[in-house]
Amino acid sequence: MSLNLYDTATREVSEFKPLVAGQVSIYVCGATVQAAPHIGHVRSAVNFDILRRWLVKSGYDVTFIRNVTDIDDKILQKAMVEKMSWWALALKYERAFTDAYTALNVLPPTYEPRATGHITQMIELMDQLIENGAAYAPGNGDVYLEVRKLKRYLSLSRQNLDDLQPASDSDETYKKDVRDFALWKAAKPDEPSWPTPWGPGRPGWHLECSAMAHAYLGETFDIHGGGLDLVFPHHENEIAQSEAVGYRFAQRWLHNAWVTQSGEKMSKSLGNTLQVQEILKSVRGIELRWYLGSAHYRSMLEYSPEALQEAAVNFKRIENFLSRATELVGAKPTPRINTEFTKAMNEDLAVPAALATISENLRLGNQAITDNDIAGISKNADEIRGALEILGCDPLDPAFASSSGSDLTEALDGVIALALAERASARERKDFAASDTIRDGLSALGITIEDTAQGPRWSIN
């Protein structure tokens, strides 16, 4: 069974064939670290993390590059506002992104290059582009790519150059065409700069990704990913720069859709963003990940607090089954992937269909508990755990290990066992008022008591 993936360039789902058998190279546009991450940012990270985990599970050796753009106009602006050095601001928010990724169990990339660490590669790239006539340095310190000379420009977004609305800041006197874009920007007073043959300056947005993709993945690689809003101009311009020097660049383009609120894209300019750190006050990281990963990556995910809570409750049911299964089987489930799940994931990562297989496993597994069918419990628990592992939501993953020490849990278990013994004797003498007082008391402390065929069990809400 082979993996089929969508490609933004062809607008079709097709069989994924890596350039080198058994290996996959991926470049994903990471954050421009100018503010704390909102849930749209991490949705993108989660989507591509699921892709990566699925490729690894499918037997590929995956090289996964996700960059950090740590220099751009917005970062300089924000640094002024926050009255700190641009580099301090960039690192501050880079850490915020890293914390968010960690909280959501997004695997660290194979390498995470920063734009400012690749100025040399950018200068080399511009050098080549100027030499072969694709780019020009008008003499003021800027370097532009001459888009009119490109044959395939805008093929990813399928637009015509002449149909584009002129840029709002198109009073550029140095550009040959208003649509030419800056590879490099001359330093203004008080701005950071690096020396180049064309004068001191700093990278324009776009150039860093071409340079870094080339540095780590070579002239061509399998998959380039990012948010849908990067198709134009960012990815078009990456293609333009890279193809103009003769690189074949990305073989396939994957773009994730947004998180929306009331149908509108979450964005800083609308002020409707939901910070990851805020959301994590109401749900755990694993629950937020379960929620963000639940929709198909190419579909908009309409956020609502209710939907998030629903997802969290839904996830707790699965966790509850896994912990009961572990108790009854006497061993942690062994992750296993079933054919239905595989089929779903191989069809352009159809996570919603994959979730339906988990629901079925859950139903059958709970039924097996009722029937005391250990083999059935085990089978379904194994398959659920296997699926959760791919989705990055395995509650037994050490990444989600609870911070409360096991000593504490043991002590608590002992205390609750005492209370439950009292309750059991009260029930035996049919003193239900007394037994309910104990249960209600524990419940008020956030401890839920369930009476099962194997006796009472407790859990913390």
Partner RNA sequence: GGUCGGGUGGCCGAGAGGCGAGGCAAGGGACUGCAAAUCCCUCUACACGGGUUCAAAUCCCGUCCCGACCUCCA
Nearest alpha-carbon partner for 213 in 95, 122, 98, 97: 122
Positions in 216-255 near RNA (CB under 7 A)? 226-234, 237
Task: With beta carbons less than 8 A apart as the criterion, state whether 180 and 144 touch.
Answer: yes
Closer of 199 and 233 to RNA (Cβ): 233
Positions in 337-366 near RNA (CB under 7 A)? 350, 352-353, 355-356, 359-360, 362-363, 366
Positions in 197-216 near RNA (CB under 7 A)? 205
Rg of the chain over CA atoms, in angstroms?
27
Is residue 155 near RNA by the rule CB under 7 A? no
Nearest alpha-carbon partner for 142 in 191, 73, 194, 204: 204
Block residue for tokens 């991450």:
37
Task: With beta carbons less than 8 A apart as the criterion, state whether 294 and 351 touch.
Answer: yes
Positions in 366-395 near RNA (CB under 7 A)? 366-367, 369-370
Q: Which of 277, 427, 437, 447 binds RNA (CB under 7 A)?
A: 427
Q: How far is the CB of 20 from RNA (least distance, A)?
A: 26
Q: How far is the CB of 256 from RNA (least distance, A)?
A: 6
Closer of 56 and 300 to RNA (Cβ): 300
- Residues 155 and 366: their CA atoms lie apart, in Å, by 51
Q: How far is the CB of 405 from RNA (least distance, A)?
A: 26
Closer of 53 and 74 to RNA (Cβ): 74
Is residue 407 near RNA by the rule CB under 7 A? no
Positions in 35-74 near RNA (CB under 7 A)? 38, 40-41, 43-44, 72-74
Block residue for tokens 């780590």:
216
Positions in 440-459 near RNA (CB under 7 A)? 448-452
Q: How far is the CB of 169 from RNA (least distance, A)?
A: 7
Q: How far is the CB of 416 from RNA (least distance, A)?
A: 14
Interface mask (CB under 7 A) for RNA, residues 85-124, using x and -?
----------------------------------------
Block residue for tokens 């779903």:
344
Interface mask (CB under 7 A) for RNA, residues 271-300, using x and -?
-----------------------xxx--xx
| Total residues interacting with RNA, rule: CB under 7 A | 89
Q: Which of 1, 20, 88, 313 binds RNA (CB under 7 A)?
A: 313
Is residue 333 near RNA by the rule CB under 7 A? no
Q: How far is the CB of 81 from RNA (least distance, A)?
A: 14
